[in-house]
Structure 1
Amino acid sequence: MTFDSLGLAEPLRLALEAEKHLKPTPIQIKAIPVALEGRDLLAVAQTGSGKTAAFTLPLLHRLAADKHHRVPGSPRALILAPTRELASQIVERIHAYGRRLKLNTSVIFGGVPHGKQIKALKAGTDIVVATPGRLLELLNNRHIKLDRLEVLVLDEADRMFDMGFIRDIRKIVRFCPKQRQTLLFSATMPPTIAELAKEVLHDAQRIEISPEKVAVDRIRQQVYFVGAQDKRKLLADLIDGPETGQAIVFTRTKRGADRVCRGLVEGGTSAVALHGNKAQGARVKALEGFRSGKVRVLVATDIAARGIDIPGISHVINYELPNEPESYVHRIGRTARAGASGIALSFCDAAERPYLKAIERLTRVAVEAVDHPLAQVSQDEAPRRPAKRGARGAGPARKRRRPGKRPVPGGRPFAKSRAVQRQSEASV
Structure 2
Amino acid sequence: MSFDLLGLNAEILKAVQEQNFTEPTPIQQQAIPVVLSGKDLMASAQTGTGKTAGFVLPILQQLTELQTKTASYSSAHKGKRPLYALILAPTRELAAQIGDNIRDYSRYLPIRSLVVFGGVSINPQMMKLRGGVDILVATPGRLLDLVQKNALDLTTVKVLVLDEADRMLDMGFIHDIRRVIAKLPKKRQNLMFSATFSDEITQLAKSILHSPQSIAVAKVNSASEQITQYVHRVDKSRKRELLSYLIGKDRWQQVLIFTRTKYGANHLAEQLTKDGIKASAIHGNKSQGARTKALADFKSGQITALVATDIAARGLDIEQLPYVVNYDLPHVAEDYVHRIGRTGRAQNKGQAISLVCVDELPQLKAIEKLLKAPIPEMTTAGFTVNPSIKATPAKKIAQRPKKKVLK
TM-score of the alignment, normalized to the shorter chain, above 0.5:
yes
Alpha-carbon distance, 1:20 to partner: 1.4
What amino acid does structure 2 have at the position aligned with 1:30?
Q
- Cα distance in 1 for residues equivalent to 2:390 and 2:59: 50
SS at match of 2:161: strand
- Cα distance in 1 for residues equivalent to 2:8 and 2:390: 54
What amino acid does structure 2 have at the position aligned with 1:31?
A
Change in Cα spacing, 1:316 to 1:101, as seen in structure 2 (3 Å) is: same
SS at match of 1:313: coil
- Cα distance in 1 for residues equivalent to 2:32 and 2:263: 41
Q: Where do 5+ consecutive residues of structure 2 fail to align?
A: 68-72, 395-407
Name the structure 2 match of 1:384. 391
- Cα distance in 2 for residues equivalent to 1:167 and 1:375: 48
Name the structure 2 match of 1:72. 80
SS at match of 1:347: strand
- Cα distance in 2 for residues equivalent to 1:4 and 1:163: 38
SS at match of 1:220: strand
More off after superposition, 208-217 vs 328-337: 208-217
Change in Cα spacing, 1:267 to 1:362, as seen in structure 2 (3 Å) is: same
Alpha-carbon distance, 1:267 to partner: 1.3
What amino acid does structure 2 have at the position aligned with 1:384?
A
- Cα distance in 2 for residues equivalent to 1:222 and 1:6: 39
Give a deviation string over 1:166-224, Cα, whole Å, max 9, x none.
10000000110011101011111112211111111111111122235862321111110
Name the structure 1 match of 2:303. 295
Indicate if the aligned counterparts of 1:219 and 1:344 stay in contact, CA closer than 8 A.
yes
What amino acid does structure 1 have at the position aligned with 2:277?
T
The total of aligned residue pairs comes to 386
SS at match of 2:277: coil
Give a deviation string over 1:59-115, Cα, whole Å, max 9, x none.
111111111225637411110000000000001111111111111111110010111
More off after superposition, 77-86 vs 209-218: 209-218
- Cα distance in 2 for residues equivalent to 1:161 and 1:374: 43
Are positions 1:3 and 2:22 aligned together? no
- Cα distance in 2 for residues equivalent to 1:293 and 1:132: 32
More off after superposition, 327-336 vs 266-275: 327-336
Alpha-carbon distance, 1:12 to partner: 1.6
Indicate if the aligned counterparts of 2:313 and 2:342 stay in contact, CA closer than 8 A.
yes
Indicate if the aligned counterparts of 1:225 and 1:378 stay in contact, CA closer than 8 A.
no
- Cα distance in 1 for residues equivalent to 2:294 and 2:149: 32
Name the structure 1 match of 2:312. 304
Give a deviation string over 1:219-261, Cα, whole Å, max 9, x none.
1111101111110111111111234220100011111111111
What amino acid does structure 2 have at the position aligned with 1:345?
I
Indicate if the aligned counterparts of 1:250 and 1:317 stay in contact, CA closer than 8 A.
yes
Indicate if the aligned counterparts of 1:353 and 1:383 stay in contact, CA closer than 8 A.
no
Indicate if the aligned counterparts of 2:146 and 2:152 stay in contact, CA closer than 8 A.
yes
- Cα distance in 2 for residues equivalent to 1:185 and 1:216: 17
Name the structure 1 match of 2:218. 210
- Cα distance in 2 for residues equivalent to 1:354 and 1:382: 16
Change in Cα spacing, 1:378 to 1:218, as seen in structure 2 (3 Å) is: farther
More off after superposition, 259-268 vs 206-215: 206-215
Which portions of structure 1, spanning 4 or more consecutive aligned residues, are displaced by more than 6 angstroms?
none
- Cα distance in 2 for residues equivalent to 1:155 and 1:312: 22
What amino acid does structure 2 have at the position aligned with 1:53?
A
SS at match of 1:369: coil
Q: What does residue range 18-417 of structure 1 map to in structure 2 within 5 Å?
A: 18-67=18-67, 68=73, 69=76, 72=80, 74-211=82-219, 215-377=223-385, 384=391, 386=393
Change in Cα spacing, 1:207 to 1:110, as seen in structure 2 (3 Å) is: same
More off after superposition, 349-358 vs 67-76: 67-76
Indicate if the aligned counterparts of 1:246 and 1:312 stay in contact, CA closer than 8 A.
no
Indicate if the aligned counterparts of 2:235 and 2:385 stay in contact, CA closer than 8 A.
yes
Name the structure 1 match of 2:16. 16
SS at match of 1:230: helix
- Cα distance in 1 for residues equivalent to 2:338 and 2:107: 29
Indicate if the aligned counterparts of 1:245 and 1:315 stay in contact, CA closer than 8 A.
no
What amino acid does structure 2 have at the position aligned with 1:54?
G
Alpha-carbon distance, 1:385 to partner: 5.3
Indicate if the aligned counterparts of 1:74 and 1:144 stay in contact, CA closer than 8 A.
no
More off after superposition, 267-276 vs 330-339: 330-339
SS at match of 2:322: strand
Structure number with larger C-alpha Rg: 1
- Cα distance in 2 for residues equivalent to 1:140 and 1:374: 60
SS at match of 1:16: helix
Alpha-carbon distance, 1:133 to partner: 0.5
Give a deviation string over 1:372-412, Cα, whole Å, max 9, x none.
13542289x9972539xxxxxxxxxxxxxxxxxxxxxxxxx
- Cα distance in 1 for residues equivalent to 2:347 and 2:338: 16
Name the structure 1 match of 2:403. none
Q: TM-score, normalised by structure 1?
A: 0.86
Indicate if the aligned counterparts of 1:224 and 1:375 stay in contact, CA closer than 8 A.
no
Name the structure 2 match of 1:406. none
Q: TM-score, normalised by structure 2?
A: 0.91
